[in-house]
Amino acid sequence: MAAAWQDVVRDAAAVREAAAVAVDAALLAGGLMRTGEQPNASDVVNFAPFTLLPSAVPQALFEQAYAVQQDFNLLVDAVSQNKEFLEQTLASTIKADDFTARLFRIYMQVLEEGLAQTVFLGINRSDYMFDCGLDGTAALRQIEINTIAASFGGLTSRTADVHRLVLKVLGKTEEASRLLPNSPAKGLALGIAKAWELYGSQKAVVMFLVEEVQRNIFDQRCVENELWNRNIRVVRKRFRDVFEQGSLDASRRLYVDGQEVAVVYYREGYMPHIYNQQSWEARLLLERSRAVKCPDIATQLAGTKKVQQELSRLGTLEKLLPGQPEAIARIRATFAGLYSLDEGEEGDRIAATAIADPNRFVLKPQREGGGNNLYGEELREVLEKIKDSPERTSYILMDKIKPQPAPNYLLRAHSPLQVSECISELGIFGVYVRQGQKLVLNRAAGHLLRTKAIEHADGGVAAGVAVLDTPYLV
């Protein structure tokens, strides 16, 4: 992709002035994060990291990503309701990966008991990179779809205003007027409110299930405040609170600290290390309840890397979305090469190919939250070690996407102002609500652009690698 701001990137004085304006504008707009030193205090905060300049994104690919989001919502929802598919797809994984196995056990347990939940709410974010072909044209390639705790739908809405101002300071008023408004938090809140309404109890609350360490609280507050604007009560609880204060009544209504809970919105629960015996018990209690879980455990499983890999297998989408060839074509057009490492000839062959040419691939375990994937020499070493062991099946392989870098400045607290070669990842938020078998809401709810320096292979904003950005459509 052509760098959009060649002239300003080289003008050190203009960049310094714009950066000072940008940081203050971000603070004023509420683009905030708690600090690493005091991650649970709101009296010392700083700006959430962001790019000085909006990054160029090809308009056609941006539109393609929006156009396929409702299809991805349907697909995730279909996978979450397909026990046979989940069982078959995850059969090898749960033998090798204890975390997925524990989630799967809860899934089976709640199915055996019979679901009390009748309203379903999905909030996901489908992430893409722009793969640069040999002829220089870029293609939209899905990195993954996040079906639990997809974040930054709140803070990202602040970034476009900041970039609009920065471009004006740099004398680019016309370009500033072209930045799109974007407000995923409103869309997420709309979905949560719809689920709350269908649950049908005026006095019930929406419970945000939050982490022990809550650095990214302001992002969540954006969604919370949208709910309060609709006169819906919001409470924030941790797994530990649910363990201590949670219970079900005879019809499996969920009560936490005396309040009935209509919707449980997980912003926690996707990393193995946060689970102890108490949190597993709390998780089971929530899943057994009538409350609308966002996501329910089936939908969390639908977001595993193993499911993503199996979806790319020829014929799978046709089984999951029968009679919807157009949706299938739109979905498949975004897939990168994905490969199973299950035991057997297919897995042996691709493992050998990746060992011979590791820079073509990314090796992914069943984990979320950044920093878990393996690249290059490390990929080769690990794969060499596990290639003949059952551990291999806890991973999948994916083609490595190679976007065209562009120069930008990554603004971070306590960091020097310096130009970096950067690549971006576009996320589209999806929201849907289903009551029984009837889909009552299905839409794209906004976008998130995250940008990082090319020297980092992995990691998002919360991991301290990527920063918030705004697409500048070209």
Q: Angle at CA 208, nearest 5°, toward 204 and 211?
A: 150
Per CB under 6 A, 368 contacts ligand ADP: yes
Per CB under 6 A, 369 contacts ligand ADP: yes
Q: Is 385 a catalytic residue?
A: no
CB closer to ligand ADP, 5 vs 361: 361
Q: Where does 375-461 have alpha helices with state H?
A: 376-386
CB closer to ligand ADP, 122 vs 365: 365
Per CB under 6 A, 71 contacts ligand ADP: no
CB closer to ligand ADP, 73 vs 366: 366
Q: Is 368 a catalytic residue?
A: yes
Q: Is 364 a catalytic residue?
A: yes
Which residue's Cβ lies closest to ligand ADP? 401
Residue from 400, 427, 433, 451 binding ligand ADP (CB under 6 A): 400
Catalytic residue among 158, 253, 364, 392: 364
Beta bridge partners of 206: 234, 263
Residue 368 labeled ligand binder = yes
Residue 13: both structure tokens together:
């004085």
Per CB under 6 A, 149 contacts ligand ADP: no
Residue 348 labeled ligand binder = no
Q: Kindly tell me the number of DSSP H helices and DSSP E strands found in the chain.
A: 18, 20
Total residues at the site for ligand ADP (CB under 6 A)? Answer: 19
CB closer to ligand ADP, 119 vs 467: 467
Residue from 370, 376, 405, 464 binding ligand ADP (CB under 6 A): 370
Are 147 and 300 contacting, i.e. CB atoms less than 8 angstroms apart?
yes
- Kindly state the smallest distance separating residue 274's Cβ from ligand ADP, in Å: 15
Q: Is 151 a catalytic residue?
A: yes
Tracing tokens 């040999």 back to the chain, one arrives at: 134
Catalytic residue among 164, 305, 306, 380: 305
CB closer to ligand ADP, 370 vs 407: 370
Q: Which amino acid is at 290?
A: R
Q: Is 421 a catalytic residue?
A: no
189-217 burial, b at 16+ Cβ within 10 Å, e below that, comes to bbbbbbbbbbbeeeebbbbbbbbeebbbb
How many CB atoms are located within 10 Å of the residue 324 CB?
17
CB closer to ligand ADP, 77 vs 368: 368
Contacts to ligand ADP from residues 117-146, by CB under 6 A: 127, 143-144
- Kindly state the smallest distance separating residue 405's Cβ from ligand ADP, in Å: 13
Are 66 and 427 contacting, i.e. CB atoms less than 8 angstroms apart?
no
d(CA 429, CA 185): 9
Of 53, 50, 68, nearest to 141 by C-alpha is 68
Backbone angles phi, psi at 22, to 5 degrees: -65, -45
Contacts to ligand ADP from residues 439-468, by CB under 6 A: 458, 460
DSSP 8-state secondary structure symbol assigned to residue 43: S
Q: Is 144 a catalytic residue?
A: yes
Residue 390 labeled ligand binder = no
Residue 402 labeled ligand binder = no
Residue 375 labeled ligand binder = yes
Extended strands (E) in 226-297? 234-237, 246-248, 254-256, 259-266, 292-294
Q: Is 63 a catalytic residue?
A: no
Contacts to ligand ADP from residues 405-434, by CB under 6 A: 425
Are 33 and 213 contacting, i.e. CB atoms less than 8 angstroms apart?
no
Q: Is 125 a catalytic residue?
A: yes
Catalytic residue among 151, 279, 340, 442: 151
CA atoms within 13 A of residue 261's CA, in its CB half-sphere: 35
Q: What share of the chain is helix, strand, coil (3-state, %, to 5)?
A: 40, 25, 35
How many CB atoms are located within 10 Å of the residue 68 CB?
25
Are 292 and 260 contacting, i.e. CB atoms less than 8 angstroms apart?
no
Binding region for ligand ADP (CB under 6 A): 127, 143-144, 336, 362, 364, 367-370, 372-373, 398-401, 425, 458, 460
For the annotated binding site, the residues are: 125, 144, 146, 148-151, 214-216, 220, 267-270, 305, 364-373, 375, 398-401, 425, 450, 452, 458, 461-462
User: Catalytic positions, please?
Assistant: 125, 144, 146, 151, 305, 364, 368-369, 450
